[in-house]
A = this chain, B = another copy of it.
Amino acid sequence: MTVSSFNPPSRMLMGPGPSDIHSRVLQALGRPVIGHLDPEFILMMDEIKGLLHYTFQTTNQMTLPVSAPGSAGMESCFVNLVEPGDSVIVCINGVFGMRMVENVERCGATAITVNDEWGTPIDLNKLEDTIKANPDAKAVAFVHAETSTGVQSDAAAISKLAQAGDMLTIMDAVTSLGGTPVMIDEWKIDACYSGTQKCLSCVPGISPVTFSDRALDVIRKRNHKVQSWFLDMNLIMGYWSSEGATRSYHHTAPVNALYALHESLVMLKDEGIENAWKRHQKNHNGLKAGLETLGLDLIVDESCRLPQLNAIKVPEGIDEALVRRRMLSDFGIEIGAGLGALAGKVWRIGLMGQSSTPRHVTLCLAALEGVLSDIGAPLKGNDAAGAAQKILLQA
């Protein structure tokens, strides 16, 4: 086998992640590696922690990037907080709630599930009943922004219910962080993980996490060692603590990916996180106007719809995979397929981070309209991009 260097094709990423990455972040990524214990690298790590405090809207001391993808960030929350014999209430309204159940069970604990239909938010009444019926449950785990459906649940209300039941909260903010408000301290969330490749528009492979002091206390008082050495927060904090010179080696940090994360967080801070939230909403509004023009429906009700992840119902009789293939081959645009129960039924268009711009919305709508027309799909109207512009070009 002869193998040459790989040159990626030109793409515009509008699926469920990764999202497009700004050249500033790619340049940071490609800077020469230095040691993971280099004094200057350690100063940068401190800056990342500060920037993550801002991004998560928290003062939690234990706020840091796990050196692995969001799935490992999820696992870091469960393996540190859950012990064999515990029970955890898990809200399921999509793929990632199901993955949480897997995590709970693999910790030797019991998952008590609250099931809601995919495409709807977590039902607060059902959750409240479940909390009351299971007063010994240790935690309530839920997905803030379900990437598989495009639904946002009411994290503040869920957290309040958990607190009333004296339970910890574990929140998945993989798709929400940086795109819609994630208020760790205000909502009193005890453990939260996210990903870098969505609204932060950084490279995939890193998972920012944050743990409250209450969660820290639970971790310190565990009866069993954390089952994962790699994800044991007691050990990781020895490396990420702010003691400077006394930092101890745990694993070799992904130095270059952290350069990139640093740069993407600097960009977010420079923009202002509230401005980023507004930008995501505005570009979503433009996309929505264009989709309405074409007669395409979003499956999620407006009241709980994520602006950054748009699940669109595939019209009857349309070969959904063909449309995605054509978007990719004719325009270099990646849009996402459905996952799990929604496989084959939806397209998922991400407007996340650097992929949330008028340019992305306009081209995506024009391309989608072109492809659908070309394969003979009946469309309600035309010039979807024009309809979007009316919103996108407003000051």
Q: What is A's interface to B at a CB cutoff of 8 Å?
A: 1, 3-11, 13, 15, 17-18, 20-21, 24, 26-36, 38-41, 44, 47, 50-51, 67-72, 74-75, 99, 102-103, 105-107, 195, 197, 203-205, 225-230, 249-257, 259-260, 262-263, 265-266, 269, 328, 334, 339
A137 to chain B, nearest CB (A): 20
Closest to A259 in B: B6
| Residues from chain B with Cβ under 8 Å of A250 in the complex | 71
A35 to B13, CA, bound (A): 7
**Would you call B26 and A32 a contact (CB within 8 A)?**
yes
| Residues from chain B with Cβ under 8 Å of A74 in the complex | 229-230
**Would you call B36 and A229 a contact (CB within 8 A)?**
no
Given contacts A47-B3, A50-B1, contact A11 B26 (CB under 8 A): no
| Residues from chain B with Cβ under 8 Å of A334 in the complex | 34-35, 38
Between A and B, 21 residue pairs with Cβ closer than 8 Å are A3-B51, A3-B262, A4-B266, A6-B44, A8-B34, A8-B40, A11-B34, A13-B35, A21-B32, A26-B256, A67-B69, A68-B69, A68-B230, A69-B253, A74-B229, A99-B229, A203-B256, A204-B252, A204-B256, A205-B253, A205-B256
A229 to B94, CA, bound (A): 17
Given contacts A31-B8, A34-B9, A254-B205, contact A72 B262 (CB under 8 A): no
**Do most interface residues of chain A lie in helix, strand or loop, or is the interface mixed?**
loop
**Would you call A18 and B225 a contact (CB within 8 A)?**
no
**Would you call A3 and B266 a contact (CB within 8 A)?**
yes
A282 to chain B, nearest CB (A): 24
**Would you call A10 and B28 a contact (CB within 8 A)?**
no
With A103-B229, A205-B253 given, can you name 6 additional A-B contacts, CB distance below 8 Å? A6-B28, A34-B334, A67-B68, A68-B68, A68-B69, A71-B252
A72 to B76, CA, bound (A): 12
A17 to B249, CA, bound (A): 12
| Residues from chain B with Cβ under 8 Å of A251 in the complex | 69-72
| Residues from chain B with Cβ under 8 Å of A40 in the complex | 8-9
| Residues from chain B with Cβ under 8 Å of A249 in the complex | 339
| Residues from chain B with Cβ under 8 Å of A33 in the complex | 8, 13, 18, 20-21, 197, 203-204
| Residues from chain B with Cβ under 8 Å of A39 in the complex | 328
A236 to B316, CA, bound (A): 34
A36 to B337, CA, bound (A): 13
**Would you call A6 and B197 a contact (CB within 8 A)?**
no
**Would you call B106 and A229 a contact (CB within 8 A)?**
yes
| Residues from chain B with Cβ under 8 Å of A21 in the complex | 32-33
**Would you call B32 and A30 a contact (CB within 8 A)?**
no
A170 to chain B, nearest CB (A): 14
Closest to A3 in B: B47
Given contacts A99-B229, A106-B228, A203-B256, contact A30 B26 (CB under 8 A): yes
Closest to A21 in B: B33
Q: Which 3 A-B pairs have the closest CB atoms?
A: A30-B30, A205-B254, A68-B68
